[in-house]
């Protein structure tokens, strides 16, 4: 009797476990296929830049990459093979690559269909233009820890190349960009006693500033000059920015924010870094400008006024106001929604197309609901023609429209740094799914 019972239990376990495993795998696969199908339908099936390529011959379907990916539903298992199921949401952390136990994942740039421009950078971070260096994501390696490491190392190489040489009235180094690479480079330059300046079109923090509020930043222990080892593997965006600010204050470092570098001119043995506010003669230049590019301008009268912004950080600061958001992508819609949630705001969205463009599913649903409630008022097929102190002028297919206005937020995409790099003489190669 006992023997038969043991036999039955063993048989149930032997058959049951594989059946449960099979059913779970089937469910996971169906979910992943559904996510991928939606991404394809919405035209969001191309990764933005660095992303994992999963070799189907090596992948054993263990799912370690799916577990490791901190972004939701970016990777999934389809028919027991890892797959990028929401490609445009991959931010290139590379956690998946590190997690794969059989090395089936390689991080690559671009795809067969969509190339990504990568500048030439030598092992010492110098470009083909002697004296101009590149560190951080611009050179092709995403992630905060890589940017910090490269910013620090690039400045060590730069200091070595200068070998203590100084030129009168000329900086040793101009660092362009104050994201993680520029921050680490500035701190290292301070440690090494270089005469340098750091410029940024925006402010200290770089891309981290643009993360959603309270986003958990995933990183790995990294050596930040002056500060020491940044040990946390997970840290809130705000806390990481505070560390940057605290260490800058402690070392009496300041960046020149709001200075967009337009050009770098060669002058004898040196360079002149040109911004709309001035120019900086220097022996060496470090470009730590990331890959987001610069916000595209509308080029309309009044755009330079203080009421115009190209990002929204603190929606709570805008209450009882008349606001215009320009653009129809996710950033524009998220900002319009955030502004519409504040007290007594009137929020218009001006967009040149007939409808919003390739929105994330959640944003699509939320904006539809907001339009229905009248919380956001769309002005499709329109363009801004002038921005005045108390109003904004739109062209709506030949018919002018004037809206009372306190602030304008423009999300018209970005100009990628490729043209700038080429202008400076740096070789840029287009990669199609290669490292
Ligand atoms: C949504 C999102 C989530 C992410 N999450 C993580 C994460 O959890 N962990 C992680 O490790 N990585 C994450 N990343 C990637 C990480 O943010 C980047 O790899 C990192 O910020 C790159 O640092 P960087 O210094 O090279 O460039 P950036 O941070 O992009 O900084 C470049 C700076 O250069 C300035 N600049 C650009 N052009 C000019 C110009 N012409 N003149 C003057 N200044 C200029 C910009 O204003 C910017 O401040 C994420 C990225 C995104 C988009
Ligand atoms: S690179 Fe990062 S976001 Fe992309 S799949 Fe891997 S872990 Fe996820």
pLDDT digits (tens, 9 = 90+) for 299-315: 999 998 999 999 888 89
Out of 24-28, 207-211, 378-382, the most confident range is 378-382
User: What are all long-range contacts of 209-216, with beta carbons under 8 Å and residues at least 24 apart?
Assistant: 209/241, 209/311, 209/313, 210/292, 210/311, 211/237, 212/237, 213/237, 213/238, 214/238, 216/70
User: What are all long-range contacts of 139-142, with beta carbons under 8 Å and residues at least 24 apart?
Assistant: 140/50, 140/109, 141/50, 142/49, 142/50, 142/91, 142/92, 142/93, 142/94, 142/107
CA distance 412 to 327: 5
Phi/psi for 333 (5° steps) reads -65, -45
The atom of ligand 2 lying closest to the CA of 107 is: 1
> Would the pLDDT of 41 be above 70?
yes
Strand residues in 219-321 grouped as ranges (E): 222-224, 228-230, 234-236, 256-257, 263-267, 270-275, 278-287, 294-295, 308-309
pLDDT digits (tens, 9 = 90+) for 95-125: 899 899 999 999 888 888 878 888 999 999 9
Give the β-pairing of 407-410 and 322-326: parallel
Average pLDDT, the chain: 91
The atom of ligand 1 lying closest to the CA of 206 is: 49
Q: Helix (H, G, I), strand (E, B), or coil: what is residue 284?
A: strand
Looking at residues 171-180, what average pLDDT do you find?
Answer: 98
The share of the chain scoring above pLDDT 90, in percent, equals 68
pLDDT band for 5, please (50, 70, 90 cuts). Answer: low
According to the model, what pLDDT value does residue 109 have? 84
Nearest ligand for residue 51 CA: 2
> Would the pLDDT of 43 be above 80?
no
CA distance 235 to 238: 8
Looking at residues 314-340, what average pLDDT do you find?
Answer: 94
pLDDT digits (tens, 9 = 90+) for 242-274: 999 999 999 999 999 999 999 999 998 999 999
Alpha-carbon torsion (181, 137, 417, 39), positive or negative: negative
CA of 14 to the centre of ligand 1 (A): 51
Q: Is 264 in the pocket of ligand 1 (CB under 6 A)?
A: no
pLDDT band for 12, please (50, 70, 90 cuts). Answer: low
CA distance 412 to 407: 16
Strand partners, 321: none
According to the model, what pLDDT value does residue 148 have? 96
Taking a C-beta distance cutoff of 8 angstroms, is the pair 21, 27 a contact? no
Ligand 1: residue whose CA is nearest its atom 5: 217
Q: Is 330 in the pocket of ligand 1 (CB under 6 A)?
A: no
According to the model, what pLDDT value does residue 261 have? 97
Q: Which two tokens stand for residue 337?
A: 């929604």
> Would the pLDDT of 1 be above 70?
no
Taking a C-beta distance cutoff of 8 angstroms, is the pair 425, 411 a contact? no
Nearest ligand for residue 90 CA: 2
pLDDT band for 418, please (50, 70, 90 cuts). Answer: very high
Nearest ligand for residue 220 CA: 1
CA of 201 to the centre of ligand 1 (A): 13
According to the model, what pLDDT value does residue 259 have? 95
CA of 414 to the centre of ligand 1 (A): 13
Ligand 2 residue neighbourhood (C-beta within 6 Å): 51-52, 68-69, 71, 74-75, 90-96
> Would the pLDDT of 434 be above 80?
no
Ligand 1: residue whose CA is nearest its atom 50: 91
| C-beta neighbour count of 67 within 10 angstroms | 11
CA nearest 105: which of 42, 55, 63?
55
> Would the pLDDT of 21 be above 70?
no
């Amino acid at each position: 009797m006992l023997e038969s019972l043991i036999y039955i239990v063993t048989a149930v376990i032997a058959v049951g476990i594989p059946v449960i495993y099979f059913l779970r795998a089937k469910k996971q696969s169906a979910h992943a296929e559904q996510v991928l199908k939606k991404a394809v339908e919405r035209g969001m099936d191309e990764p933005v830049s660095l992303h994992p390529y999963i070799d189907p011959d090596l992948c054993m379907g263990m799912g370690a990459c799916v577990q490791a990916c901190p972004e939701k539903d970016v990777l999934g298992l389809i028919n027991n093979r890892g797959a990028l199921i929401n490609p445009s949401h991959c931010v290139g952390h590379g956690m998946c690559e590190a997690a794969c136990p059989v090395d089936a994942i390689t991080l690559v740039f671009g795809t067969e269909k969509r190339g990504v421009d990568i500048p030439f950078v030598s092992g010492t971070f110098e470009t083909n233009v002697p004296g101009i260096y590149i560190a951080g994501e611009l050179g092709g390696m995403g992630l905060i820890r890589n940017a910090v490491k490269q910013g620090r190392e690039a400045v060590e190489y730069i200091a070595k190349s200068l070998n203590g040489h100084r030129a009168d009235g000329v900086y040793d180094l101009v660092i362009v960009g104050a994201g993680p690479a520029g921050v680490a480079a500035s701190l290292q330059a301070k440690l090494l006693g270089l005469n340098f300046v750091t410029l940024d079109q925006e402010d200290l923090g770089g891309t981290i500033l643009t993360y959603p509020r309270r986003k958990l930043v995933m990183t790995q222990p990294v050596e930040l000059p002056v500060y020491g080892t940044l040990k946390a593997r997970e840290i809130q965006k705000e806390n990481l920015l505070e560390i940057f600010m605290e260490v800058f204050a402690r070392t009496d470092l300041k960046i020149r924010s709001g200075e967009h570098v337009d050009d770098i001119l060669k002058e004898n043995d040196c360079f002149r870094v040109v911004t709309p506010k001035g120019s900086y003669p220097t022996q060496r230049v470090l470009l730590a400008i990331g890959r987001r590019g610069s916000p595209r301008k509308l080029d309309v009268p009044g755009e330079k006024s203080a009421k115009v912004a190209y990002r929204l950080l603190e929606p709570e600061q805008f209450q009882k106001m008349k606001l215009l958001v320009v653009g129809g992508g996710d950033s524009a819609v998220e900002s319009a929604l955030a502004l519409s949630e504040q007290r007594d705001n009137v929020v218009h969205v001006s967009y040149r197309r007939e409808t919003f463009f390739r929105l994330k599913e959640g944003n699509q649903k939320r904006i539809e609901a907001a339009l229905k409630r009248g919380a956001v008022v769309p002005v499709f097929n329109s363009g801004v023609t002038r921005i005045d102190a108390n109003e904004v002028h739109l062209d709506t297919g030949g018919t002018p429209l004037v809206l009372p206005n306190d602030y304008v937020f423009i999300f018209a995409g970005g100009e990628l740094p490729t043209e700038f790099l080429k202008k400076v003489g740096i070789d840029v190669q287009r990669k199609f799914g290669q490292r």
